[in-house]
Structure 1
Amino acid sequence: MKKTSLNDIAQQLGVSKTLVSLVLNGKGKEHRISEDIQKKVKKLAKELNYRPNQIAKGLRTGKTNTIGLIIADMANPFFGKLGREIEKEASLHGYRVMFCSSDEKAENSQKQIEMLQQGQVDGIIISPPEGSEEQILSLEASKTPYVLVDRYFADIDSNYVVVDNFQAAYEGTMHLINNEIRKIACVTTSARLVNMIQRLEGYKKALTDSNIPVLEERIKVMPFSHEKNDVFYAIKELLSAKDRVEAILFTTSKIGVMGLESIHSLGMQVPSDVRVVSFDDPDAYKISFPPISAIAQPLKEIGRESVKILLENIKNKEHKKQKVMLNTRFIARKSSSK
């Protein structure tokens, strides 16, 4: 079936293609096109199911009203929820979102950035994987509007929206310590990502401030592309040791979900055998038995701030860099207390 064009509408109404374009782009009134003609154009466009060619429109105007979003890991519930919040916020401003997932691999994000730039997106929101510093510098050099979310690179002056990861991990660990627990493990990943570094440091600082020794055997750093077996063996080591741990801090919800499965697979129960606190607050934590104590990130605010900053940079590419750090919220549930 032939797609309806501006020319088709113009011919049927006996008007110019330019007039039809002005009306459908909301510029009829400023060009003094009569209300009657505007109504006829819009009515026929609807009847013929007219859909604008966004690529052609983008080439004409230099703007596509589309932003690219590269999240780090689609399998992580946190990024799925964050993606939805960014999409909802962008929609409020008349923008569509093109989704990509780098799977925490720099080579993937490189290809995705190139694809998005070729697709004429107006800007990009990125959760950059480890080793993608050159990609961000390249965006800077090309003056492509972008915002980093969840993590950033300390040596690159960039726009970013993150949470206070150090303080969040500190508070989560202190919650366990305040419940008279001293043998606390931390299961984390990718020690080179700034957010993971800060979470691990927050955990360690809470221990040292409480005169609890930081033992390396109680810190398990999962491989970059960790699977369920990696987490299972880490949990097994922690819970089968002679001086086994009393509680575990998981630094991502993906690791947390795998960790909880591993605890149950080992025939142990939360919180009677081991207490648990995890970053992020996926729906599974709320309905789990017992419900899981969580460090909830302000997803709506992250989405709102990242879109706001990106749109400001699309409008003015020389806009001053904005660095936003938000607070998390600790939610105490039954998994961390007996």
Structure 2
Amino acid sequence: MKKTSLNDIAVELGVSKTLVSLVLNGKGREHRISEKVCKKVIAKAKELNYQPNQIAKGLRTGKTNTIGLIIADIANPFFGKLGREIENEASKHGYRVMFCSSDEKAEKSKQQIEVLQQGLVDGFIISPPTGSEEQILKLEEAKIPYVLVDRFFPEIDSNYIVVDNFLAAYDATQHLIKEGYKKIACVTINDKLVNMSQRLEGYKKALADANIEVAESRIKTLPFSHEKDDVLLAVTELAGGAEKADAVLFTTSKVGVMGLECIHSLGLQVPGNLAVVSFDDPDAYRISNPPVTAIAQPLKEIGSRSVKILMDLMNKRKGKKNPQQVMLKTNFVERSSSKK
């Protein structure tokens, strides 16, 4: 079916294509086009189901009213919920969101940024993968508005919104220590990511402050692209042997959900055999048996504030000389999975 064009509307009404364009772009009044003619153009556009070409419009006006959101993994409940919050907030400002998932691969992120830069978006919200520093520096050099979320690069003075990952992991590990657990394990992913590194350091510091040995055998670092078999092997090793763990901190909800499934598949009881605390708080944790103690990140605030900062940058209300660097607190939600 042929898509309706500006020319189709102009021919139907017997007016010029330029007049139709001016009216549909909200410039009829400033070009002294009568209200009667404007109403006719708008009515005919609706009748013919006219859909503007947003890409062409963006190239023409330099503005697309679209944000590029590049996250690590859309299948991860944390990123899925964060994406929804960003989309909700963006819509309040009249913006759409174009979603991309980098799968924690710098090259894939690079390709996505390059494609979206070609007049498709006005700015970016990015959860940058390891090794993508050069991409962020190029955005800086090109003066393209962007905000980093979930993680950042300490050596780049950028706008970002993160949580206090060190303190969150420290407090969660302290909670397990206070409950009486001594052999506390940590299952994490790619510790080259600054947020994962901070979570691991928080876990270690809490053990050290309680004079509990940090046993490297109880720290399992999985690749980002981990599968259930990777998690099962980690949980099996932690659950067996003389040095078996009595509690575990999962540093992402994706690992946590897989970990719980593996714990149950091994016939172990939570918290009887293995107490559990996990970062993030997906719906599954509230209805799990038992419900899972979680470190809930303020997704709504991360979403709203990242969009607000980006809007300030795109509207040049804030300068790049004083980047907004926000660190938020998490909310520790204590449930039955970590009780002694």
Correspondences of 1:120-131 after superposition (within 5 Å): 120-131=120-131
Q: 2:329 aligns with which of 321, 324, 327?
A: 327
Whether the 8 Å CA contact 2:250–2:277 is kept in 1: the answer is yes
Match of 1:239 in 2: 239
User: What do residues 100-141 of structure 1 show as CA deviations (whole Å, max 9, x unaligned)?
Assistant: 111111111111111111253111111111111111112112
Match of 1:302 in 2: 302
User: What do residues 287-317 of structure 1 show as CA deviations (whole Å, max 9, x unaligned)?
Assistant: 1111111101111111111111112222228
Q: Does 2:33 align with 1:37?
A: no
User: What do residues 179-200 of structure 1 show as CA deviations (whole Å, max 9, x unaligned)?
Assistant: 1222211111111111011111
Work out the CA distance in 2 between the residues paired with 1:23 and 1:174: 63
Match of 2:275 in 1: 275
* TM score, norm. by length of structure 2: 0.95
Work out the CA distance in 2 between the residues paired with 1:146 and 1:328: 24
Match of 1:2 in 2: 2
- Three-state SS of the structure 2 residue aligned to 1:118 is coil
Work out the CA distance in 1 between the residues paired with 2:37 and 2:75: 51
Work out the CA distance in 2 between the residues paired with 1:307 and 1:60: 24
- Three-state SS of the structure 1 residue aligned to 2:23 is helix
Correspondences of 1:42-57 after superposition (within 5 Å): 42-57=42-57
Report the Cα offset of residue 68 of structure 1.
1.0
Correspondences of 1:80-159 after superposition (within 5 Å): 80-159=80-159
Report the Cα offset of residue 19 of structure 1.
2.8
Work out the CA distance in 2 between the residues paired with 1:321 and 1:243: 47
Correspondences of 1:212-223 after superposition (within 5 Å): 212-223=212-223
Deviates more, 1:274-283 or 1:112-121: 112-121
Q: Does 2:338 align with 1:336?
A: yes
Aligned partner letter, 1:313: L
- Three-state SS of the structure 1 residue aligned to 2:97 is strand
Aligned partner letter, 2:192: R
User: What do residues 205-242 of structure 1 show as CA deviations (whole Å, max 9, x unaligned)?
Assistant: 21122222222111111123221111111111111021
Report the Cα offset of residue 38 of structure 1.
2.3
Match of 1:259 in 2: 259
User: What do residues 144-170 of structure 1 show as CA deviations (whole Å, max 9, x unaligned)?
Assistant: 211111101111111111111111111
Work out the CA distance in 2 between the residues paired with 1:46 and 1:187: 56
Work out the CA distance in 2 between the residues paired with 1:30 and 1:275: 68
Deviates more, 1:138-147 or 1:22-31: 22-31
Whether the 8 Å CA contact 2:231–2:255 is kept in 1: the answer is yes
Note the residue ranges of structure 2 that are not aligned, 5 or more in a row: none
Match of 1:24 in 2: 24
Match of 1:196 in 2: 196
Work out the CA distance in 2 between the residues paired with 1:38 and 1:167: 59
Whether the 8 Å CA contact 2:275–2:339 is kept in 1: the answer is yes
Whether the 8 Å CA contact 2:160–2:324 is kept in 1: the answer is yes
Deviates more, 1:58-67 or 1:17-26: 17-26
Report the Cα offset of residue 72 of structure 1.
0.6
RMSD over aligned Cα atoms = 1.6
Match of 1:181 in 2: 181
Match of 2:59 in 1: 59
Report the Cα offset of residue 2 of structure 1.
2.2
Report the Cα offset of residue 28 of structure 1.
3.1
- Three-state SS of the structure 1 residue aligned to 2:117 is helix
Relative to structure 1, the CA distance from residue 269 to residue 312 in structure 2 (aligned partners, 3 Å threshold; closer, same or farther) is same
